[in-house]
Structure 1
Amino acid sequence: MTTPDIPPLQPAALVARRATAADHDVMHRLWQLFRHDLSAVTGALPGSDGRYRTERLDRALAGETGWQARLLESGPHPVGLAVARALDEPVAVISSFFVVAGARRTGAGRRLVGSVVATRPGRWSVAHQQRNAAAAAFWPAVAAGLDPGWTSERRPVPGRPELPPDTWVTFSVTG
């Protein structure tokens, strides 16, 4: 059995939207890929069932106040996800962000960030580990493109003293 060739990602075909209940399974699959990628930096292991924890995603998918999940698609192909929290606070947080490897360096990540921050004008923050080279390059570049006055600061990771501090990038967007 052969697998049909999938055409390369076309940036014009990228659509980022709020995830719905119908996206539950797709979002959970993308989440497992995200957590697996992140485990190279955090050392996190899956649970005894072979899956990574999903509490943040579940809160966003359930529509809890202040939480939102977004799905990035290229035609019928899911290619990324974002989870935002503290949407009802003075500084909203992009708490989880992932683009599949085949869609990276195509503008997909920027399209997804734009979709997230368009949901709410004001201040936004996102944390990353400095040793995550891709995130350390991506987030300052994105923040600078959105807000010339963006800032960066290092803060300890709550409950994870064995990890180096997170780098928090903060920027503002207007409506």
Structure 2
Amino acid sequence: MPNDHLLVRPATAADQSTMERLWLMFRHDMSEFQSQLPRPDGTFRSERLHSAFHDAGWAPYLLTSDGHPAGLAFVRGLDGPVRVLNSFFVVRGARRTGIGLRAVKEIVARHPGPWEVAFQDANPGAVAFWRRVATEIAGTAWSEERRPVPGRPGIPPDVWISFEASAPDE
């Protein structure tokens, strides 16, 4: 799949059903690393999806390729000192095409300043991807630490990458 026609744009209320479907795919992928099963109705927790559309300081982004949904990103902390890429997902059919890296770079450029991203050590694809993203954006000026997952003492800590993003013309 070529990534020449990648569009990263803020999701609107009209995108809600598309984002819900992408969220379900994302949570399904993450269930492998977080040992979570769907609820009885086949859905997963969706508090972040709701927050992305309705809470202050959040921004949902829809990623499309040639007009087709290719992924999502939720940013939080836009009203605070650190922006957090809270959720990021690329549809399997679009992975390893450069779409993910290009999308993150576009999103981060829209919100310059300090950033953090969390992922799980058990997800080798995420480990390699997020280290590459941090290096592409910040060179060697990024850090990585493990932090306990709040309210879930029985699971391994999340890995957090921190970096600073400059405004596009800096």
Alignment of 1:13-32 (within 5 A): 13-32=5-24
Inter-partner Cα distance in structure 2 for 1:162 and 1:119 = 36
Alignment of 1:81-92 (within 5 A): 81-92=72-83
Q: Residue 119 of structure 2: which of 119, 128, 137 is its match?
A: 128
Alignment of 1:32-111 (within 5 A): 32-62=24-54, 64-111=55-102
Structure 1 residues 29-68: Cα deviation after superposition (integer angstroms, max 9, x where no partner): 0000000000000011111111011111111122x21101
TM-score by length of 1: 0.92
Structure 2 gaps of 5+ residues are none
Structure 1 residues 117-148: Cα deviation after superposition (integer angstroms, max 9, x where no partner): 12211000000111111111000110011112
Structure 1 residues 82-129: Cα deviation after superposition (integer angstroms, max 9, x where no partner): 011111111110010100111001011012102221221100000011
What is residue 114 of structure 1 aligned with on the other side?
Answer: 105
Q: Contact 1:16 / 1:111 at 8 angstroms: preserved in 2? A: no
- In the alignment, is residue 167 of structure 1 matched against residue 159 of structure 2? yes
Structure 1 gaps of 5+ residues are 1-8
TM-score by length of 2: 0.95
- Give the AA of the match of 2:94: A
- Give the AA of the match of 1:61: F
How big is the alpha-carbon RMSD for the aligned residues of Structure 1 and Structure 2?
A: 0.9
What is residue 153 of structure 1 aligned with on the other side?
Answer: 145
Inter-partner Cα distance in structure 2 for 1:94 and 1:54 = 16
Q: State the percentage of identical aligned residues.
A: 51
Shift of 1:76: 2.0
Q: Residue 137 of structure 1: which of 128, 134, 138 is its match?
A: 128
Q: Contact 2:105 / 2:137 at 8 angstroms: preserved in 1? A: no
4+ aligned runs moved over 6 Å, structure 1: none
Inter-partner Cα distance in structure 2 for 1:88 and 1:170 = 18
Secondary structure of the residue aligned to 2:8 is strand
Farther-moved stretch of structure 1 (147-156 vs 31-40): 147-156
